[in-house]
Amino acid sequence: MKEFQQKHIVRLMRMMYLLQSQRYITKEKIIDELKISERTLFRYFTELKHAGLEIKFSNSSYTVDEGNTALLINRIKFTEDESIAFVIADKLIENYSDDSVIAQYRHALLKIKTALIYADKKDFVEYIEKKTTSRKRISYNQNRFPNNFLIDVQKAIASNKTLKINYFTYHKNELTLREIAPISVNMHRLWHIRAFCLLRNKYRDFRLDRIEKLEITNNTYDKTKYNLDDFLKSRQEGLNETNVIVQFDKSIERLVHIGKQNFTIKKESETDINFEITFGIDKFKKDEFLRWLLTWGKNCTVVKPLAIRKEIKKLVNELVEHWK
């Protein structure tokens, strides 16, 4: 009974936030957000009206009569620039976070939007939201790898608790159960956990979108024993990084600038006819790097090492054989 009452109160509060966060809102949107029936919706309307929230129906939508209501969320005044910043942050979160963070951020943003003082500012925010878009990144095989563990990982890091994960390794095509001591999280196109793997007894990097299941254990670890400095040192030692010097034609400089961000850049220089980049390429990025170079055809040249040129020639021969 107590749990039911708590859920009921939470839903009523969320409904208040929804009603006060927008100038107008349809019943369909409220039902979808709260996951309730139409009958429950009207029951909530009645309860909020009895509590002092004046709700009006206009243009097939609901709105709060803020001039004649006794139940309003405390107001905070935001500038237009601050409001735009919130909208942009919302789109970035949508694109670069996992589902657990997105859901909690939207709940928080809803409370912030509820606190906007003036109705015209709500119209302004809603207009900016409609004009700001972001393409959601789609994880591979999302039904199997839900990619919604980021908040739990942060909780484990904060409490020095180990994690049990079912982790899929692509190059071995196998799923293993591991217990890890999470040290930090890192965003590099996708979210990664930097951790000490108790199964392998080594520091490892785990992609969140390759985790099938995740559980916070009651086991604690010594954060002075497993730390970020040692992780970075071990990764550097195990990567076998090679410096690769590549010259590109000036005609493709703008296009190269987009793709080069995916690799470690050590040095850049340019002349009137070309520009030169020294990349630090480790064994994990090597194949991706070679295939990226191939896309530029005769507009790029590997200066050194010669071994890289030989590997590219091998890929070219494979392509010729495949397409002849």
- The residue ranges of DSSP E strands in 146-240, in sequence order, are 161-169, 174-188, 190-197, 202-207, 211-220
Amino acid 118: pLDDT: 46
What confidence tens digit (pLDDT) does each residue in 131-151 have? 777 666 655 555 667 778 888
Amino acid 152: pLDDT: 92
Average pLDDT, the chain: 82
- pLDDT below 50 — which residues of the chain? 70, 117-119
**Cis bond upstream, residue 305 (ω within 30):** yes
What confidence tens digit (pLDDT) does each residue in 218-228 have? 999 998 899 88
| Angle (CA) 222 227 230, round 5° | 130
Amino acid 84: pLDDT: 76
Amino acid 289: pLDDT: 94
Q: Pick one of 2.40.30.60, 1.25.40.340, 3.30.300.30, 1.10.10.10 as the CATH number of 2-68.
A: 1.10.10.10
Amino acid 283: pLDDT: 80
Residues 231, 237, 243, 248: what is their CA dihedral angle, to the nearest 10 degrees?
-30
315 and 281 Cβ atoms separated by less than 8 Å? no
Statement: 242-323 belongs to CATH 2.30.30.240: no
What is the percentage of the chain residues whose pLDDT exceeds 70? 83
Amino acid 77: pLDDT: 60
Statement: 150-235 belongs to CATH 2.30.30: yes
> Can you give the residue ranges of every domain in the chain?
2-68, 80-130, 150-235, 242-323
41 and 27 Cβ atoms separated by less than 8 Å? yes
Amino acid 292: pLDDT: 95
